A and B are shown apart, each in its own frame.
Chain A
Amino acid sequence: MDAKAHKLDHDIVEFINQCREQEHPDSYLIAVLHKVQNRYGYLDKEHMAEVAQRMQVPTSTVSGVATFYHFFRLQPKGKYHISICLGTACFIKGADKVLDAFRTELGIELGETTADELFSLDSSRCLGVCALAPVVLINEQVFSKVSAKQVPQLLNKVKEQELV
C-alpha cells in the first residue's frame, strides 16, 4: 500500500467536518469509523489517528471504541471475505461443521487472511436469515443452507471467477 492510501479520502474528511457542526459532534465517532471501514476494508492505525485528530478526540478514545465493537476490523480483509453465521439456528443446523470445513480447506483460523490475500475468514452473529440456516456470507452474497460437503465446491467456484 502506498503512503497516500493512509490519508483519508476527501469525502470522508468532508463527512467528519459536517459531523463537527452537529450537536454532540463526538457522538458521530462510530458513524465515521463505519465509513472508514467501508472504504478501506478495515481500520488502519494511521486512519484512526487522522480520525482522532480531525474529530479532536484522544487517539485512545478512537482505538478504545474500535476495539470494543466486533464489527470493526483492525486487519485487512481478503479479497473474498467469508463470514459464517454462528447464530442459534445456524448452529442447530450444523454451522460449526461448515466452519470446520472452511478452516481445513483454507488452512486459516477465524479472523485470519490467507497468504495470497484472497480469502479471509470470520464468524458473524446472527445475520437474521435463520430460516435459511446455515448461512455463509461471501462479500455481499448470501449462501443459504450450506453444508460442510459443499464448501470445497463453493471455494472452487470463487477461485474460478478469480481466474477469469
Chain B
Amino acid sequence: MPPHAVTFYNALHQFMVARREQSGLAEKTVIQVGSATCEKAAGSEAVMKEFSKLIRASGRDDIIIKQTGCTGRCAREPIVGVFIPGQIPIKYERVDAEKVQTIFHDHIIGGQSVPELVLDKKTEKRYDYVITVCSSQRCRHAESDPEVMVAKALKATGIEEGTVRIFGGGCFGLCSSDKVGKQQVMMIFPERILYSFGTQEQLEEIIESHLIRKKILTRYQTKADFITEQFFSLYGDVSFFNKQTRLTLRNSGLIDPESLVDYVMNKGYEALANVLDRGDPNWVIAEITTSGLRGRGGGGFPTGTKWKNAITYTNDPIKYVVCNADEGDPGAFMDRSALEGDPFIILEGMTIGAYAIGAHKGYIYVRAEYPLAIERLEKAIAKAKENNLLGNNIMNSGFDFDVEIRLGAGAFVCGEETALMLSIEGKRGQPRIRPPYPTESGLWGHPTVINNVETWANVPTIMLYGAEWYSRIGTEKSKGTKVFALAGKVVNTGLVEVPMGTSLRDIIYDIGGGVPDGHQLKAVQTGGPSGGCIPAANIDTMVDYEELAKLGSIMGSGGMIVLDDTDCMVQTAKFFLEFTQSESCGKCVPCREGTVRMLEILERITEGKGELADLDKLERLGKLIQKSSLCGLGMTAPNPVLNALHNFRDEFEVHITEKRCPTHKCPQLIKYEIDVEKCTGCTLCARRCPVSCIDGTARQVHVINQEACIKCGECFNVCKFDAVLKI
C-alpha cells in the first residue's frame, strides 16, 4: 500500500513548519500564560491583558503571548513562562498585574530574570548553568545518588559553588534494560545538551569540558526520544516536575491547546499516520496489549484485551468508541486538565482506537460542568475536520471516523459504562447488569469500546515510541504513568504525572512539598468514593494497581487527597458515603437503602449517640452492599467506611465511648468552655451567642450553659482573649 497517510502527514508537518517560520516564532520572545479553568480562577486573564498592554506600549513586534493549558501547579497560579531565544526558560509563580510590570521591564526588556518571583525556588542568584540528571528509582545508579555524583564532580573540577543548579529528574524509559543502573542521563542548560555517563570519571570529564572549556563533549552526547528532550528542556528547570514523568500531559502547559500547529509541531498525528499506513488493525491491538496499558478510569482493565474483545465476539460492522470524560470522583480534575490542555491528543488516540477495532463513529461524554473543556474540544474537532484529520478519508488513507460530543448532566452514576451509554442514547442513566459487556453489546446494541480520557491520551504515545519503550516505564503489572490530582493538606496542590511504582512518599513530599503549617500527615485518600484511606504508616507504598488494592484502597481515576492530623476519619468516611448515597440511582435495594442505613449509623456516631455494636453493624451492612449491588457504584460505596473502620477503628471508638472527636471536627461532640483565667468579662460572647446561653456580667468571668449550647462556635470565634476553649 502506498504511504498515503505518511505523505499527508509530511505535507501537513511541512505546512505547519512553514507557518511557524513565517511567524518568525523561533526568534521571538514568548510569554506563556496559563488559561485553564483553574488558572482563570486565579486571575490569569488580567495577567494576559496587562502583558498585552505592555507589549503594545513597547512597540516591539518580537514579543508574543501564548496561552497554554494547566501545568498542574495550581497552588502557584497564575504561572507565566518566559522563553527568550538562547536563554534558560524561566517560570514565574503567582503573577499579578504588579509583577507583570517587573517581569516585563526587568526580564523581557532588560534581559535579567527576576529571581525572587521564580516558580518554586526563590533563588537569590542567577545561575550560569542548570543540570538536570535522571534520578528515578528505576535506574538509580548503582554507585550513588546521581545528584550527589554531579555535586561531587562540580567540586572536583573546581567550579565555583552556587553557579550551577542541580535537579533530579524522572524516568522516561530512556535506558534500555541492559543499561539500567549502569548509565545515567543528564541535560545541561542553557545549551540543552543531553549526555549519558557511566562513571564518576566520565561525569567529571563532561563537566570539565562543557562548563570550563565551554566545549560540548560529543563523545558522551546521547540522543533521546523527542519526548524526553522536550520534557527535560521545558520542565527540567523546576523541581516540582522532576520526579514526574509526563507522557499524557506532555503537551499540557506547553502548547497552545487550541493550536493544531503546536500539536503537529510536537509530533502530533505522526502516530496516526504510521498506523494508517501500516494498514494492520490487529498490529495496533497487539502493540497496545504488549505495552501493558490498563484503563485509567478506575478499574485498570487491560486496554488491549478490551479492544480485542470488541472484534472477537461479533462481526457486527457497526462499532463505536467512547471517551469517558464524566470525571465524577469528587476530588479529581485530571481529565478536565487533560482536555483543556491538549484536546488533540484525545482525538488522535480515539482515531487510532477506532481504526484498530473498525469503528467509524466516536462519542466523547463530557460533564456539562466543564465548559472550557467542552469549548476546547469543539474547537479541536472542528480544526481536525478542516484538516482532514477527522471525517471521511482521514489523511487520504480511506479510513472514515467522526467524533461527536455528548454532555452529561450531573449524575455521578453516568460515569459507569452501561449508564453512560444509556445517557448518550438520551435516556436516564441507570446501569444495567453486565455481561453483556459494552464490547459485545454497547451503544444501540453494537460493540463499543469505552475508555477513560487518560487511557486514550496514552495511545498516541505508545504507537509513536513503541510498546516496548512504554513497558519499560512502571512496575511489572502496572505500566506507564498515572496522573493524580493532588489536593487537600499538601503544599503543592495540583496535577502530577508519575511513573507507576513511585512511592506515596515521593508524591507527597518530594513533589507535593509535604503537609503545610507544621501538621502531621494522617492518611492519603485515593480512589475517591470507591476507595479508601491509606494510613501515614504506609507512606512508602508504591503506587500501582495491586499495591493499593492490598491496602484496601484502589488506584481509582486519580484523586489523591492528603489528610492531616486535624482531619476526622469518621467525618471523611461519612462524607464519601453521603456522596454515593445521594448519587445512587435507586435501581437496586442494597445500594439505595443500605447506604441510607449506613449513613444513619455514621450520623449517630458523629452526634455522640453511637454504640459499639454499631461498628459491627456497619461492617455487616457494608459487606452485604458490596456483594449484592448491581453496579460499581453500589459495590464500592461501602469501601471508604470499611477501610476507615479497618485502619482507624480506635477513632470510631473514641467517638462512641468517650463521646469525643479527637480532631474537633464533629460539631455535636465539641464542647466549648470558658477559661476562668483568661476571660476578662468583656461580654462579647454573651452578646453574640445566638441562643443566649452564656451567663455573666461585665468584668466577671462568663460561663456557658452546656445544656442550652447549640455548639455554633460563635463564642470561640469572637473572643479576643482566646478565653473560649474547644474541647
Q: Which residues of A contact B (CB under 8 A)?
A: 24, 26-31, 33-34, 61, 64-65, 68-72, 86-89, 91-93, 124-133, 135, 142-144
Contacts and interface: CB of A to CB of B under 8 A. Distances in A.
Nearest to B40: A142
Q: Which of A71, A126, A131, A132 has the most CB of B within 10 A?
A: A131
B38 A132 contact: yes
Interface residues of B, number: 53
Interface of B: 37-38, 40-42, 74-75, 77, 327-333, 336-337, 368-370, 406-412, 423-430, 444, 485-489, 493-494, 525, 528, 559, 561, 563, 567, 572, 575-576, 585
Given A26-B426, A34-B368, A91 B410 contact: no
21 contacts: A27-B424, A33-B409, A34-B407, A61-B427, A69-B408, A69-B409, A70-B409, A70-B410, A71-B411, A72-B409, A89-B331, A89-B487, A92-B561, A125-B328, A125-B330, A126-B333, A128-B327, A129-B37, A130-B331, A131-B74, A132-B41
Nearest to A67: B428
A125 B412 contact: yes
Nearest to A65: B428
Given A26-B425, A34-B407, A70-B409, A131 B561 contact: no
A132 B493 CA distance: 8
Contacts of B567: 92
Contacts of A31: 406-407, 426
A71 B368 contact: yes
Contacts of B559: 88
A72 B429 CA distance: 14
B38 A68 contact: no
Given A70-B411, A92-B567, A125-B369, 9 more contacts: A30-B407, A30-B409, A70-B409, A86-B330, A126-B333, A128-B333, A130-B74, A130-B333, A143-B41
Contacts of A86: 330
Nearest to B586: A68
A133 B486 CA distance: 12
Contact of A135 (B41, B423, B563): B41
B494 A131 contact: yes
Contacts of B336: 128
Contact of A68 (B40, B74, B428, B486): B428
Nearest to A127: B369
Nearest to A93: B488
Contacts of B74: 129-132
Contacts of A71: 368-369, 408-411
Given A135-B41, A142-B40, A130 B411 contact: no
B426 A68 contact: no
Given A126-B333, A142-B41, A91 B575 contact: yes
Nearest to A126: B330
B524 to A, nearest CB: 12
A125 B428 CA distance: 19
Contacts of A131: 38, 74-75, 333, 485-487, 493-494
A160 to B, nearest CB: 20
Nearest to A88: B331
B410 A126 contact: no
A41 B528 CA distance: 31
B332 A126 contact: yes
A142 B494 contact: no
Contacts of A144: 41-42
B438 to A, nearest CB: 16
Q: Which of A24, A69, A126, A143 has the most CB of B within 10 A?
A: A126
Given A69-B409, A70-B410, A133-B487, A124 B37 contact: no
Contacts of B493: 89, 130-132
A153 to B, nearest CB: 16
A88 B409 contact: no
Nearest to B361: A23
A61 B425 CA distance: 12
B586 to A, nearest CB: 10
A128 B406 contact: no
A30 B423 contact: yes
Contact of A128 (B37, B75, B427, B489): B37
B426 A124 contact: no
Contacts of B486: 131
Q: Which of B38, B370, B486, B487 has the most CB of A within 10 A?
A: B487
Given A26-B425, A27-B425, A69 B487 contact: no
Contacts of A64: 428
A64 B411 CA distance: 14
B528 A88 contact: yes
B36 to A, nearest CB: 9
Contacts of B329: 126
Nearest to A144: B41
Nearest to B73: A131
A69 to B, nearest CB: 3
B29 to A, nearest CB: 29
Q: Which of A34, A86, A92 has the most CB of B within 10 A?
A: A92
Contacts of B41: 129, 132, 135, 142-144
Given A30-B426, A88-B330, A130 B485 contact: yes
A88 B412 contact: no
A89 B37 CA distance: 16
A141 to B, nearest CB: 9
Contacts of B38: 128-129, 131-132
Contacts of B487: 88-89, 92, 130-131, 133
A68 B75 contact: no
Contacts of B37: 127-129, 142
Contacts of B327: 126, 128
A68 B429 contact: yes
Given A28-B426, A30-B406, A65-B427, A89 B488 contact: yes
